[in-house]
Structure 1
Amino acid sequence: MSERWIADRMHKIDASGIRKVFDLAATMKNPINLSIGQPHFDTPEPIKAAARQAIDNGRNAYSQTQGIKPLLEKIQASVQAEYGHADRKVFITSGTSGGLMLALSTLVNPGDEVIAFDPWFVMYKHLTTLAGGKCVQLSTYPDFRIDLDKVRAAITDRTKVILFNSPANPTGRVATEEEVRGLAELCREKDICLISDEIYRAFCYDRPFVSPAKYNDQTLVIDGFSKSHSMTGWRVGWCHGPEHVLQQMIKLQQFTFVCSPHPLQWAASEAWDFDVSEHVADYRRKRDLMKAELQEDFEIIGADGAFYLFLKTPWGTGTEFVRKAIENELLIIPGNVFSSQDTHFRLSYAAPDDTLRKGAAVLRKIAREGA
């Protein structure tokens, strides 16, 4: 196979950070796995039953590209009730990742700049590259707060999009209403598209969730069922925003994903009415458990939502600390997978309590022993 077959853009997309972690873990017999960014509970039974029913009822062909009417109507009514924007419409995406890809491909021209807050969700940088854009990494260290003066200074005449994620992966931080409002108003002032990734919206523990769409009616919101309802493999998300933008995204979906999986959209319609507050409360408790287990040996910043802790290593780089953890049968992710810095590591507390306590014991041991 000729190397020249590979497009130049692929050489700018590097998955080696996560791959190295799993290569190191390949020989682990009984790993303590705190690396997985998905819920540890199974998809609720009523949702699974709705999926089976849809399959048995023959809902197995393509749906309309924009999604099935019952699901669209439920989400549209909720969005309209929350925001009241005359021009805010909804469509169903193939997961939030599919929604992000469609959004950036629709909005970003080659050479356009996309601001992402460091640490970021791993896909932001690479999907920007795929769209031909330049990812401008704006540091939020050490407290993971959004400094609006830094954002304003980073904006150029090529800035097209700002990517915003709250509650955030990997830090677990939930932005304050002041930060959200300031960012929304700045994007409106500068005529920049603000994409709000709200996949962890349900998981807010210490302060209420606030969407920038509340303060900027041009905000493009991407959300889904993956995390809140443990439907990560089902690939059903949704997007809402200005109709003229969504029409272009729907056009692109028609020629890429075609539609979100049809029978699972019917299950998602059932999921929309399913109460997940019990699971949210359980993750709040697990967050508190891990903070109590680790606070003597680690500085804990963020952790207001989602199900992650992003911890600064007490010694060495993030990569070195993770290597030592893997030698002790603990699987976590080095911070440089999510960041330009290699000073932290991410753990997920979406795991059984016994696994969490075992992992915390290993982390305390490593922290105290040093390199």
Structure 2
Amino acid sequence: MQTQVVPSLSRWGVSAGADLVFRTLAAFGPWSVDQTGASLGWKNQRVRGALDELLAIGAVAALPLGTGDGRQWTARSATEVVAGLRRRSQVEAAARHRLRERLTHLINPEFVPDPHRMAARDVRPLFTVAGVRDRLAQLINGARREHLAMNPEPAFSAETVKAAAPLNRALHARGMQVRTLGVPPTAEDESGWHTDELNAYGLAFRQLPSLPSKIMLIDRRCAILPIDPDRLAAGAWEITAPTVVEQLVAFFHEHWDRARDPIRDWKPPMDLTPREQAVLALLAKGFTDAAVAAKLEISLRTVAYTISGLMERYHVINRFQLGLVLGAGDDPGSDRVADPGEPEEE
């Protein structure tokens, strides 16, 4: 029987590891992660990473049976995969041309190299929203010094905020310097509560009437820029060319210096812990204990303990009095303080 010749996907920008997994599945699949890893002598985590890359370009599909690492994967037709990669290459080439035009409007043109001639490691595309989120998570988990973000969107969906919140909390936990530039929100914006949480943690936020581009800068080593600023679902560029990143950092700080901290309804006293500030800031905005717990990803009992602890510290007997003492308006939440003996609700 004649063996099918499987073309290399590496020439289309697919990593060597993902190409090898594709070839393995094309020759022997459908196989599970365990089977593929055993055949290649790889750990399952490495196989899953390669499958994620192949799934993003439509090169593999999961069979309906099985779950977790027991689920089986199959390679799609090599002809169809190569055709799709060829189309993607054409789209990427056009996007690279537009990238140079965009960069010349953001930074000094003399520092803008030809994206077609830049090494693949200096500028690479991240297709799909999921691909951008996954890469951002990797970069933020590896960040050590600084995270700068310029967000021109006047409204963020609840889904977007939910995805970003754990990453921002991780930055705070590591003591990173975090600066975020935004614009005045519209009524549809769902990020107000998270902005209050970040302010409670001491992460700086400023606003301008408008911003020219969405940019994320990690450790002054990497910049994330949308491929199409009018269609964020198209993905983003990951840029690591040092001169370009340096210029984009300067571009960010130029706008940061002109921006102002927006006036908020209430700023928690600075002698409170970050958690106490975050809880009170959300309660002062009218969120229930359950909503605060859900948004901050803490237990309902933790919210109750936080409030009862503050009441004891400031020698008051109810939330109304606590609100007056802390300057949080008439009432930072409802009058009810959960009994510490009640069952914990997660």
User: Looking at both structures, which has the greater relative contact order when contacts are Cα pairs under 8 Å and sequence separation is at least 6?
Assistant: 1
Q: TM-score, normalised by structure 1?
A: 0.27
TM-score (norm 2): 0.28
Richer in helix (by share):
2
**Which structure has the larger Rg?**
2
